[in-house]
Chains A and B, each alone.
Chain A
């Protein structure tokens, strides 16, 4: 079947170049989880509603369940595994999520942090409404979002202060 035809995929993930041969019907999500073992990328609904599979692709936060791997040819991808510094230093967003109690079950956390990161790259001083909008595609069933918003505010403040 044509769907199972193998294609070549050249992709940069967390600053590392990969040349993969994958089934053409694979989603970016499957490539990241199954081929590269990046299980910090979660699958929650497979229809682009919940945001658990969020990754950053060419600077934008996307649902990796909605992208065929072939569409990511030549793309630069960042997953939660790519946020730590060379010596394992955590990103200010990761620190802030821990400090404000923004993490409960943790399943939405990778996607939530990545959507927040895209926001802060484009808008270092977001308002509460802008934060809400930026994470509105990432469902969290545990926290009621309040402490997540506080985490983004705290990280923004520190990043503005030259934290990273």
Chain B
């Protein structure tokens, strides 16, 4: 029934990428450009006594050196990030000065000539130290190191009564590590002094152009309309190209305004790992109560996320965590508290999943531990408790049959059936005692995920669609393409509505001076919200075209159909016009506009801040997976053999791209589960490049079987919901559960690397 959507068409930006023609931030060069570089802190926490820039300034070829003194407007940006630290450095990635020179070689030499005198201060480096009041403060004005607005809670039912009803109560603590998004393209920014008026134009690897624009305007003391941000082709982001890019853009913009020359700043991998955000480390205490038959009656959790020195995400990350912390289960009594703390370490930000990888690891490990305690199977306990149509979430939101689907029961049963889960699980328990040091294991996990921003923020989205005289169509979204395939999904939506072939459509990178500010490209909302904006814009244009075509064909508008580049009367298909003929008549004949803005405003999602109850999200996506692995009990090495997963996403606009999102998410999830860990020693970063911070290579790819479940959930464009983040979160708990199945060892701390698996602890601390 669909012509363009629901089909695996080629990405509309693939040609530029396979030929090397697509320009990324570092590929842009301008005449007279300066090369800028940041001087970073030497210590995780110290007073700055003196910054001596004279020697660097004297070096031939150095054009500008800036410190906090040179910031024309506000030095402090959203989340307390200083453009350059003034009196104190609070973590090892703080910038204290920035230098610009005629060449990369000169600037590299010049940063080493900046002399900074420090007085070292004690610091807090982990969650425990941050909570303990005797360990000092990261920000002098914050007594308890608690990040502002980062405490989010959920109160449902009566937790005391719930635990009284329980036959079994378990209390467990789970911990997760900092990890880096580790996109292969390091951050790059180029700032050009506006050639025509006072202001700047910023290009680069920018995930969230509008927040960069606002922050840079504040730093420069300019109005928002004097800063223009254009995204370059982005080499992966996963939430990460945000704060670091904001800092780079601010420093480079100051130098550009000061010198009147374009300024280019490209991070090395070491600088990227040092200065970019991480997935928050976390410590989650869970208490769960259940009846003997497996019915869960109460869950209480207390989760701390480690925010690092500055933080503009913990308040949002923790909000999402508070909705999902008790998992995809119908539980009558829930008490959830999530907190974020400052530490003198690298900072937490957005990374694919946005709290889900941490809490799903905790909760889905816990459910298996509970099943073990009750001596029932992991499948049975999930089937018994998982959300079903008509169930009420902990927030009070009801999953109405036919409106918000709840297909989890079917999905769990399917992944188990496909993998012969229960019989293998029992077999592997028996084999634990065998002499073979290689043990096999199988593990299950399931999840649900609020689609889009929901009550976390304004989930509006913008789009501009313009049809030109030759019948070609230009689309521009306020949300950005980072590799996820969003702009191809958008093009498919527009082509489907207008009844044209996809080759008519091309894209324009997000440009803040053209398309309206609609917030950040996060929360898997690119297709959900951004696609709805495209749909609205395209429908406006279709309406204009049909009005004109009805006159040209002398028929009723309601009888018109647009398909295959023609507009015709469905009652008499010989009465037809080409799409281009109608476009020409509109533009040349009638002087109409064939450019439309689409603005999507979602329904209000509101929660009570006292109880956390209300409608958190317009709808939810679901996932279930089974992992089969083997583990060498002599070395601790886990080898993941096979993953069978199912995801419910409404409708796949492009099934091939959707599957690509899941395969990629799954492998990132395995990296998180098994090998990835940003290590800090007393605030000093130990993982500086890919030789320390390992990510999965092609050798780490297991067999993957992904099933997409479609539904008639009506929220998204053509019923498409969220995809991007859902793939990652099922992996760590499924691996931990499979490891338990193989060995009888329960490990509650990530990553499940050789040391933890073999010794139960890590040797490096």
Binding site for B on A (CB under 8 A): 4, 33, 38-47, 49-50, 52, 79-81, 83-84, 90, 94, 97-101, 103-110, 113, 131-133, 135-149
List chain A residues, Cβ under 8 A from B659: 101, 147
Chain B residues with Cβ under 8 A from A149's Cβ? 698, 701
Q: Is the CB of A97 within 8 A of B18?
A: yes
Report the separation of the CA atoms of residues A60 and B482 in the bound assembly, to the nearest whole angstrom.
31
B184 touches which one: A94, A98, A107 (CB < 8 A)? A107
Please determine whether B11 and A46 come into contact, CB atoms closer than 8 angstroms.
no
Most buried by A among B15, B105, B268, B483: B483
Which of B18, B184, B237, B268 touches A50 (beta carbons < 8 Å)?
B184
Q: A42-B235, A105-B235, A106-B22 are in contact. List 11 more A-B contacts (CB 8 A).
A: A39-B26, A44-B185, A80-B19, A105-B233, A133-B698, A139-B697, A141-B664, A142-B483, A144-B662, A144-B704, A148-B698
- A33 to B13 CA separation, bound complex (whole angstroms): 22
Given the contacts A42-B24, A107-B235, A84 and B701 also touching, CB distance less than 8 Å: no
Interface residue B695 (Cβ < 8 Å from any Cβ of A): yes
Contact of A43 among B14, B26, B234 (CB under 8 A): B26
Give the nearest-CB partner of B482 in chain A: A105
If over half of A's interface residues share one DSSP class (helix, strand or loop), that class is named, otherwise mixed; here it is: loop
- CB atoms of B690 and A136 under 8 A apart: no
Give 10 nearest A-B pairs by CB, closest first.
A40-B20, A105-B483, A106-B17, A107-B235, A144-B663, A80-B20, A144-B667, A39-B27, A49-B690, A104-B483
Whether the Cβ atoms of B235 and A101 lie closer than 8 Å is no
Could you say which of B23, B660, B697 contacts A101, with CB atoms under 8 Å apart?
B660
Q: Is the CB of A109 within 8 A of B689?
A: no
Counting chain B CB atoms within 10 Å of each CB, which of A33, A131, A144, A146 scores highest? A144
- Complex contact A81–B17 (CB within 8 A): no
- Name the one of A50, A103, A147 contacting B17, with C-beta atoms under 8 angstroms: A103
How distant is the Cα of A88 from the Cα of B68 in the complex, in angstroms? 51
**Chain A residues with Cβ under 8 A from B233's Cβ?**
105-106
Asked if A144 and B666 make an inter-chain contact with CB atoms under 8 angstroms apart, the answer reads yes
Q: Residue-by-residue, is B1-34 near A (CB-CB < 8 Å gives 1, otherwise 0)?
A: 0000000101101111111111110110000000
Q: Cα distance A108–B662 when bound, in Å?
A: 18
In B92-117, the 8 Å CB interface with A consists of 105
Residues of A contacting B704 in the complex (Cβ-Cβ under 8 angstroms): 144, 146
In the bound complex, CA of A140 to CA of B664 (Å): 9
Name the B residues within 8 Å of A100 (CB-CB).
656
Q: Across the interface, which residues of A come within 8 angstroms of B483, CB to CB?
A: 104-107, 142
Assess A109 versus B701: contact at CB under 8 Å? Given A44-B269, A45-B690, A104-B484.
no
| Chain A residues with CB under 8 A of B668 | 141, 144
A140 contact set on B, CB distance < 8 A:
184, 698
Known contacts A104-B660, A146-B704; is A141 also within 8 Å of B182 by CB? yes
Binary flags per residue of B261-294, CB closer than 8 Å to A gives 1, else 0: 0000000110000000000000000000000000
Interface core residue of A80, A109, A110 (most chain B CB under 10 Å): A109
Residues of B within 8 A of A103 (CB): 11, 14, 17-18
Is B579 part of the binding interface, using a Cβ–Cβ cutoff of 8 Å?
no
Provide the residues of chain A in CB contact with B27, threshold 8 Å.
33, 39
